[in-house]
Structure 1
Amino acid sequence: MTAALASVTALTACPRLPADLTAWTVWLRTAVDPGWRGSEWDAEHWLFTGDTDNPGTAVWRCSTAACDAVMKARGQRCQPCDLALRAGDAGPAEFAATYVPVRRAAFPGTAAGFCIVSRGESRCAFAEISRGLCESHYGLWRIYTRRHPDASISEWARAVARPRIAAHDGCLVGRCGEAIQTDFGLCCYHHRKWKTNQSATGDPAGWAGTQSPFLRANQFSLLQLGPTLRLEILYALQQRDARGGKIEPPAVLAAVRAFAGLPTLLGVDQVAAMAMLTGKGVNSETHVKTIIRGIRFGYDEYSGIKQTDKEVWDLAVAGVASDTTQSGRRRHPGTADFSAIKQRWFRDIVLAWARSTDPDSKLLGITLKACVRASQALGRRPGGGLDPATLRLVDVDAVVKAFQTARKDDGELYSVTQRRRMLGFFFEMLDFGHRAELMGQVPGGFARHGSHRILGVETNEDETGKAIPETVIRQLDAHLDLLGRGFPYGRLPEQDVAAMMRTVYVVLRDTGRRPSEVAGLGQACLEHVDDEFSLIWNNRKGRRNRRRLPITRQTAHAVQTWQQQRPGLRSPAQSREYLFPAATEDAGIAHMSAGVIARAIRAWADAIPVLHSEVSGLDGQPLPFDRTLIFPYAFRHSYAQRHADAGVPIDVLKELMDHRDASTTAGYFQVSLKRKRAAVKTMRLHVVDRVGRPTPMASDVAYEARSVAVPFGNCIEPSNVKAGGHACPIRFQCAGCGFYRPDPSFLTAVDDHVTSLKADRETAQAMDADEFVVRNLTDQITAFKDVAATMRTKLDLLPAEERAAIEEASTVLRKSRALRDRKLLPLTVTRHHKEPTG
């Protein structure tokens, strides 16, 4: 799209233009600071000349110490100095310190000096272009040397040539500062520009009044823009400067040239602006985003709209302090979108809280995120929580449940602390609403209850059994060509995005690292020692950096292929050290985010035409696989399951997963059906009753189907079996029950229960409880100890090989029970009674 076409498109797409553009222009004229950057901004000529010593201006001097040439980037050398360095023998450091440049030639826009032709006190008033002569005298000198080839140019200039008298002291263009070249009163640069300008007719003085001087790398001019547009850009730049943003003259100049055909930037959205800037560089795009934002918010102020009156806040304009700097000044733009809270009554409470408490950006962000999650939970309730008068306790229950199971974008469960904090923010909003008298329509039943809490006792922070089956992974591998297709990622071409996302997937699948750890891999993440490859990664969750994980050659080859493609990407400067770069300069982090990975995997899973599960339907054909189970963190479970099924010992798998505790590793995989069946087959022969008599189960099916696991063994009491172990008639006093069927796999649980009973007995004695209470506890302790002693005696009599098999089976069964996520020892006895009839 050409700049002209983009300008037309932007104007025709304007969603709003001020009814009175003149009034808007007048407001801008009063809003801009006339004394802004007095040493750099020339308000009369609309010219900015950046000072290389000003830290707020992004221009630098040539790296040669004695050179005054201005460069666009830090550490660059100008072309003459670079040529001199290549021609000499000095190294870069020595050259930069000692070289003194000599300007041998003039070029347009530089102060080249005057022609050397003179007679007494009279001197030629025009600029020299070659060998010290102006254009006219240089032509006369060339003619003279045809007849006098041995003539001296200095003698000719002094004795033969006559000086030219100019009607003007210098170029007519304001702030040009160059000697004139023609009788029209223009310097060489502007004379050539005037001759090529088809619309330049008549007196050149009028044309010169609309022109900017020759612009160097540290300059830009707003003179050629329309009266409204130049004020808009100046206002936006002053706002950027006030927030601590740097002014980069080349980037502003690119924006000025792109927008030169527009009367105003009001209504031009960011997409249209980016289209006009195609190929101008990331820094220009960043400046244009700031300009568009500044103008939009300036128009809000002109219209009498406060930023905090809106439902989407620009944090910088709203004055929300940054939590990352001591001064509170924001380094990066950000927004707070309150419209994501769908319930009007709840949104008003959160907005009122934000306006009255003045939180910093971190507190505002996490509070808003928690309230949006609560809003989504209410939205799933009948009526969507839109009518506050219909809210009840069950609606609060639904919100609490949402926080109890809250997961990150990549599928990882939030920590208990994070979930508690989010739930606390929700209830804090309700408390604020009551204090501010904003919940008059909300019934009193919509409030916190004692049961609304998130328990801290967990066997594992992540839900077990989330591994993607290997058969499904093979189907995903067959559709790798769809991954990343059509997925937007900054300004990267689709083929680069697809290649990057394929590499991300391979690393996720083959290494089992957390999505955030894959996203943060460095470019030098491979180590090759003794013909073996290792992945170097940072365990950010465990705060253990530069970990090493053995990987296959195929995985290493996938990473190496991307490493070769990575340098050619157009990526942000802050992503230079990372394997997977951030999408944009203002992404907030220096590398790809885990959320981006989650969205890409989600879009890919949805794009695959067919995904079969391992379960067959009534017609014998495989049922569709639930695509919601395909998320980045699930590949970590798949990695653990794959190694467990291959027989990798749990202590080795613990090291591969980089866990501190093997119990955490055990929660990442399920015991395979084959191993569980083998364990049941072994254990069913060693079942005993409450007094230690052998009562083996007749079959493997009977072991599982006719019994239920209770805390300290199996139970065959019919009503308890039917209730799944939650309906014990005698409150789990198993050692005194004829239906109790323990086996060696429960020995650890029995020992733990004995310890617990002893503690209960001491407590009862301290409470001066009745003798029958203490006696009951003592009898239970004795009975359970007898059960455990009997089983251990029988185990000791078995051959070592058979004893080892029982121990292995016990481990498998304990692991299988641990993964059931079953609540044991209910606080009340559940009894089933028939309802009276008639």
Structure 2
Amino acid sequence: MTAAPLAAVRPKAAAPLGDERLEEILRALDPGFLRLLDWNWGRRVITFPREHPVIGLPDCPVPSCPLAITVATRPMCSGCTERWCATGLPLEEFLLIPKAISKGIGQIPCAVDRCERPQTRVAARLCDSHHLQRTHKLGRLPLEEFLAHPKVVGLSGLSPCLVESCYLDRVGRQYPYCKAHIQRLRTAREKPGFEEEAWRLTEKAICTTREVSLRGLPDQLVAEVLYGLWSRVANGFKTRPECLRPLYDRLRTHRIRTLEEVTDPTALGGSREQVMMLRACQLALRRLNATPETERVKDVWDMSVFGHTGVIPFTSLVQEPLREAMKVWVYDDLPRRRNKNAVHHARAVISAVALLSESLWLQRPDRGMVPAAWGRGDIVAFSNRMGHLMATGKLSAARRLAFTRFVRRVLLRFRTLGLAAPGALLEGMAVDFAIWPEDMPDEPEDTEAGRDLPEAVMRELCAHLDRLEEMSNVETRVATELLIDTGRRPDEIYTLPVDCLQQDPDGSPVLVYDNHKAYRFGRRLPIGGETAAIIRRQQQRIRERFPATETGQLKLLPRPKTNPEGTKEIKDISSAHREWVDSLPDLAVPLVTVEADAPVTQLVPFDKSRIFPYAYRHCYAQRHADAGVAPDVLKELMDHRLITTTQGYYRVGAERRREAVDRVTALQFDRHGNRVWRTALSLLDSEHVRRAIGEVATPYGVCREPSNVAAGRSRLPPAVQVPGVRALLHRRLLPPRPPGPPRRPAAQS
């Protein structure tokens, strides 16, 4: 777009700031999108194309019908659909019947060559002037003879209709309006208190099914709504003309100059869809040319500017110095967190610091506004408040510990960032305003038996997968099946490309995925044949659904909406999964109790809140651990960096603990060469623990003779001169000691 066509429609007395913002929006508009809409800055009418994956409106298939299909679920336009329902004919037969000539919408040029005036009568195909010439001056000649008559020449066009939103031409010199608005004016004049000037400013335009008029709106507002429409189409959101027209009419009626003036979109009225469109347009304009440098000074950050999703609000921090310091901390911490949980982590830390801010506000006379006044007493008050919140049930023990850790780390980071230095945000912050190790609450005992699901529950879930597909869609079912079979994190399944299935050299199927949390891509996971079959069937469905898209751009689990090309993955299945789980009948698991010294098995209801997508990852780990998979192998299967992380995903069952004891029972000897724990099968677990209390760990095992710990070490090599090793190894490592001289008897007194 060039500045030349815009200069003709720009107001003469525009504010400099408005001109600068207008030019900024115009530079951001895609010229190809404007050509797609057949946009002209003089006419100012949006024309929806016939073929486009998002905003395309195909022609009505009924012969002689000039309208378009605006509802994708209907085979024809709305008018023809109503006529078809009234006839009761089969669709194939109805589509062969031409539509009768109707008045139509819009204007058609006069049939006379080079005549710029519109037709006023569809049957006559002539403008008013030529119709009068034909009927009164040339004796009602046939139309063909009239068009060839030498006295019939083309006429210049008339001025546009005086209705501000209308782009049609007036039909005659005696009428200042188009034909349709002349009829509307006659009806409007019958209402009491009618004012023609106000009617001209607010009356709606006359548009066809593909047209949306932006006439009568200020220049900057026109540019803003065009940019908002382009952003919406680029994100794959379908937009209908019948939804845009009333929205723009309301903007025209309320005399809105820019969308920044609309603080509450619901105040304009309209449907929920129109309110959402207006808010999406405002959001797109706020993101226009936004940078991390401009975003970091705001109290609510739009994380799309930083390459993430969602927002981070700092409004919960009451004290301005603390709020500004947290902005510095988040800005410094974001680059070190490359996974999708960066925003979630930052919001959790801000919530923890918000509790500190609340504590300062409640217990300090100055409301905590002066960082130099913060001290040890404020930390004590904060710790006591955290204990109060936990005692009243507003904070769990685990969350209290996590929040205290967050605050401790943030306060330490404030100092390393230099925020407590002279002239900085937290100038004068005392050294004792910090959480010391002794201030940390105790680690809560891990009383959870495990987050995996019992076998009986898993059987019920797998038996009702068809119901999940009926309630949601096939992508939700496939995602759930892959979560169960592979144990991957939900994000790792959602983002799978369509070509995620490969084979090892031996022909075994392998799932290729990206570990977003650890920033490790192209990971390979061996899978079973049934899981591979699920993926192959889904691949076939996706290729049939999006044949025009390249395979490398397709997603295995595409989003059902705003995704015309299949290149966007599903966001989350948690809501559909929860609705499915809640709809299932009550789940029961067996529980063994003892009654009258006899075991009794009872069925107890299972808590459905424990069934969520991430629980399948724990089931995967527990399933492999119960099968005897080595911890180091399970670590690789879980794609963890540390084996301690893997150990938190499963528990060692009683059967495996008993089996481990039985295996080593025959290999246990004491220092006399006698077997120990001969009766290990009859020992209780408490006896095993009691027996382990007296053992002393040594580099070569354990020692059950505490007296050996203090034994001499002078004859041992330096590498084994440690407590307890001499008593265990002096028989094997050292030669026998030669006998010494006989001891003399003690003297008699």
Q: SS at 1:706's partner residue?
A: helix
Task: Assess, with a 3 A threshold, how the Cα gap between structure 1 residues 509 and 162 changes in structure 2: closer, same or farther.
Answer: closer
Shift of 1:687: 0.8
* Alignment length (residue pairs): 597
Cα distance in structure 1, aligned partners of 2:632 and 2:332: 45
Shift of 1:56: 1.5
Cα distance in structure 2, aligned partners of 1:277 and 1:774: 84
Shift of 1:516: 1.4
Cα distance in structure 1, aligned partners of 2:49 and 2:410: 46
Provide the TM-score with structure 2 as the length reference.
0.56
Contact persistence 1:50–1:218 (CA under 8 A): no
CA deviations on 1:470-503 (whole Å, 9 max, x unpaired) are 223235456769979xxxxxxxxxx764765444
Provide the TM-score with structure 1 as the length reference.
0.51
Matches within 5 A, 1:437-836: 444=432, 446-449=434-437, 466-477=451-462, 497=472, 500-523=475-498, 535-540=511-516, 541=518, 543-545=520-522, 547=524, 549-551=526-528, 553=530, 556-557=533-534, 560=537, 577=555, 579-581=557-559, 590-593=568-571, 596-597=572-573, 610-612=586-588, 615-616=591-592, 621=602, 625=606, 629-646=610-627, 657=638, 668-690=649-671, 693-702=674-683, 704-708=685-689, 716=691, 720=693, 737-738=704-705, 778=721, 780=723, 782-783=725-726, 786=729
Task: Assess, with a 3 A threshold, how the Cα gap between structure 1 residues 172 and 270 changes in structure 2: closer, same or farther.
Answer: closer
> Corresponding residue for 1:374?
352
Cα distance in structure 2, aligned partners of 1:584 and 1:439: 50
Cα distance in structure 2, aligned partners of 1:146 and 1:639: 92
Shift of 1:256: 1.3
> Corresponding residue for 1:13?
none
Contact persistence 1:465–1:670 (CA under 8 A): yes
> Corresponding residue for 1:817?
none
Cα distance in structure 1, aligned partners of 2:717 and 2:362: 56
**Are residues 1:424 and 2:409 paired?**
yes
Contact persistence 2:487–2:638 (CA under 8 A): yes
Contact persistence 1:466–1:634 (CA under 8 A): yes
Cα distance in structure 1, aligned partners of 2:30 and 2:607: 54
Cα distance in structure 2, aligned partners of 1:204 and 1:394: 68
**Are residues 1:184 and 2:174 paired?**
yes
Cα distance in structure 2, aligned partners of 1:559 and 1:736: 58
Cα distance in structure 1, aligned partners of 2:334 and 2:606: 39
Cα distance in structure 2, aligned partners of 1:150 and 1:234: 43
Task: Assess, with a 3 A threshold, how the Cα gap between structure 1 residues 442 and 422 changes in structure 2: closer, same or farther.
Answer: closer
> Corresponding residue for 2:280?
289
Matches within 5 A, 1:223-234: 223=216
Contact persistence 1:134–1:181 (CA under 8 A): yes
Q: Return the match for 1:134 from 122, 127, 133.
A: 127
Cα distance in structure 1, aligned partners of 2:588 and 2:437: 44
CA deviations on 1:513-543 (whole Å, 9 max, x unpaired) are 1121112123555679999976553344462
> Corresponding residue for 1:255?
247
Cα distance in structure 2, aligned partners of 1:51 and 1:115: 45
Cα distance in structure 2, aligned partners of 1:614 and 1:603: 25
Q: SS at 2:666's partner residue?
A: helix
Matches within 5 A, 1:98-247: 112=109, 115-116=112-113, 126-127=117-118, 133-138=126-131, 141=134, 152-156=145-149, 158-159=150-151, 171-172=161-162, 180-186=170-176, 190-196=178-184, 199-201=187-189, 220-221=213-214, 223=216
Task: Assess, with a 3 A threshold, how the Cα gap between structure 1 residues 253 and 561 changes in structure 2: closer, same or farther.
Answer: same
Contact persistence 2:670–2:676 (CA under 8 A): yes
Shift of 1:505: 2.6
CA deviations on 1:708-766 (whole Å, 9 max, x unpaired) are 4xxxxxx837xx36xxx7xx6x999976642799xxxxxxxxxxxxxxxxxxxxxxxxx
> Corresponding residue for 1:712?
none
Cα distance in structure 1, aligned partners of 2:558 and 2:165: 47
Task: Assess, with a 3 A threshold, how the Cα gap between structure 1 residues 734 and 421 changes in structure 2: closer, same or farther.
Answer: same
> Corresponding residue for 1:56?
29
Cα distance in structure 1, aligned partners of 2:215 and 2:143: 51
> Corresponding residue for 1:350?
322
Shift of 1:509: 1.4
Q: Kindly, what percent of the aligned residue pairs are identical? A: 20
Cα distance in structure 1, aligned partners of 2:583 and 2:263: 34
Cα distance in structure 2, aligned partners of 1:184 and 1:673: 99
Contact persistence 2:37–2:48 (CA under 8 A): no
Contact persistence 1:273–1:288 (CA under 8 A): no
Task: Assess, with a 3 A threshold, how the Cα gap between structure 1 residues 551 and 454 changes in structure 2: closer, same or farther.
Answer: farther
Contact persistence 2:326–2:350 (CA under 8 A): no
Q: Which amino acid aligns with 2:514?
A: N
Task: Assess, with a 3 A threshold, how the Cα gap between structure 1 residues 445 and 269 changes in structure 2: closer, same or farther.
Answer: closer
**Root-mean-square deviation over aligned CA pairs:** 7.0
Q: SS at 2:527's partner residue?
A: strand
Cα distance in structure 2, aligned partners of 1:352 and 1:195: 62
Cα distance in structure 2, aligned partners of 1:699 and 1:185: 110
Runs of at least 5 residues in structure 2 that lack an aligned partner in the other structure: 62-103, 287-294, 336-341, 365-376, 391-397, 547-552, 734-749
Shift of 1:353: 1.9
Cα distance in structure 1, aligned partners of 2:466 and 2:267: 31
Shift of 1:707: 3.2
Task: Assess, with a 3 A threshold, how the Cα gap between structure 1 residues 702 and 633 changes in structure 2: closer, same or farther.
Answer: same
Cα distance in structure 2, aligned partners of 1:733 and 1:151: 114
Contact persistence 2:205–2:213 (CA under 8 A): no
Cα distance in structure 1, aligned partners of 2:226 and 2:36: 27
Task: Assess, with a 3 A threshold, how the Cα gap between structure 1 residues 700 and 60 changes in structure 2: closer, same or farther.
Answer: same
Shift of 1:351: 1.4
Runs of at least 5 residues in structure 1 that lack an aligned partner in the other structure: 1-34, 84-106, 118-123, 225-229, 296-306, 325-331, 403-410, 456-462, 485-494, 570-574, 709-714, 742-769, 791-838
> Corresponding residue for 2:312?
336
Task: Assess, with a 3 A threshold, how the Cα gap between structure 1 residues 698 and 172 changes in structure 2: closer, same or farther.
Answer: closer
Task: Assess, with a 3 A threshold, how the Cα gap between structure 1 residues 775 and 665 changes in structure 2: closer, same or farther.
Answer: closer
Cα distance in structure 1, aligned partners of 2:136 and 2:363: 95
Cα distance in structure 1, aligned partners of 2:180 and 2:427: 73
Task: Assess, with a 3 A threshold, how the Cα gap between structure 1 residues 56 and 373 changes in structure 2: closer, same or farther.
Answer: same
Cα distance in structure 1, aligned partners of 2:522 and 2:36: 39
Contact persistence 1:112–1:128 (CA under 8 A): yes
Cα distance in structure 2, aligned partners of 1:771 and 1:397: 58
Task: Assess, with a 3 A threshold, how the Cα gap between structure 1 residues 192 and 740 changes in structure 2: closer, same or farther.
Answer: farther
Q: Which amino acid aligns with 2:322?
A: V
Task: Assess, with a 3 A threshold, how the Cα gap between structure 1 residues 50 and 673 changes in structure 2: closer, same or farther.
Answer: same
